[in-house]
Amino acid sequence: MNRSIFVVGSLASLVAVFREDSSVARGGEADVVVLPTAAAFVGAAEASVAVARVCEGFDARVEALMVGDRASANEPYFAQRISEADLVVLCDGSALHARTVWRHSPVGEALAAARSIAAVGSVASVLAGVMIDPRGGAPTTGLGLIEGVAFSPPSSDDQLARTRKLVAKEIALVVLGPRGVLRHADGEWTVLEGDDVVVTRGEDVAVL
């Protein structure tokens, strides 16, 4: 399967996914599903509406899947829709909550097999094998959809320095600001918008 994972620093940068990837719409209207799990504590419905507004200028049909807890993550319909969609948008919010809900669930399995995923903001950390715990910057275990990288939103200099010391040097730590946009496909990374992206291995600046 030709699979793409996009990592975008903010909702405003999501438009790059539609502009740069013509495969999202396969010969017509794109089937886009929104997964607001990470936004469950601050407003899943509002987060879904915000994604739909970004999609308004493109040929897309948008459906929000209200997966907010473990029970809903076990619903066959939600897993089926994720598997069918041209693009799955993961809303920003609590990465730890998203991991708890998705891990070892039908929805998590569907994400592992999804055609294209766009992870917005801090939720990108969940997708990697190494996840950065936002509470203190230490590495922990993510979903493992992609390996060799770990994602962190911008943080204090002290916390980022601690994270860089704790993450193994073979892991590229990507600090993604709001304007950054990356794409992973066919085992390779492409930087679509790199002004807000800092990559390090250990304490050394690196490239993906």
pLDDT tens per residue across all 208 residues of the chain? 568 999 999 999 999 888 776 556 555 688 999 999 999 988 999 999 999 999 888 888 999 999 999 999 999 999 999 999 999 999 999 999 999 999 999 999 999 999 999 999 999 999 999 999 988 899 999 999 999 999 999 999 999 999 999 999 999 999 999 999 999 998 899 999 988 999 999 989 999 8
Domain assignment of residue 150, given as a range? 4-205
Rounded to whole angstroms, the maximal C-alpha distance in the chain is: 48
pLDDT score at 206: 93
pLDDT score at 21: 65
Q: 87 with 24: CB under 8 angstroms?
A: yes
Q: Nearest CA to 24 among 117, 139, 93?
A: 117
Q: 7 with 181: CB under 8 angstroms?
A: yes
d(CA 166, CA 6) in angstroms, rounded, equals 25
Q: Helical H runs in the chain?
A: 15-20, 44-55, 70-73, 76-84, 95-102, 106-113, 124-127, 157-166
| Number of domains into which the chain is organized | 1
Q: 50 with 107: CB under 8 angstroms?
A: no
d(CA 90, CA 120) in angstroms, rounded, equals 6
Q: What is the CATH number of the domain that holds 192?
A: 3.40.50.880
pLDDT score at 24: 63
d(CA 168, CA 39) in angstroms, rounded, equals 30
pLDDT score at 194: 87
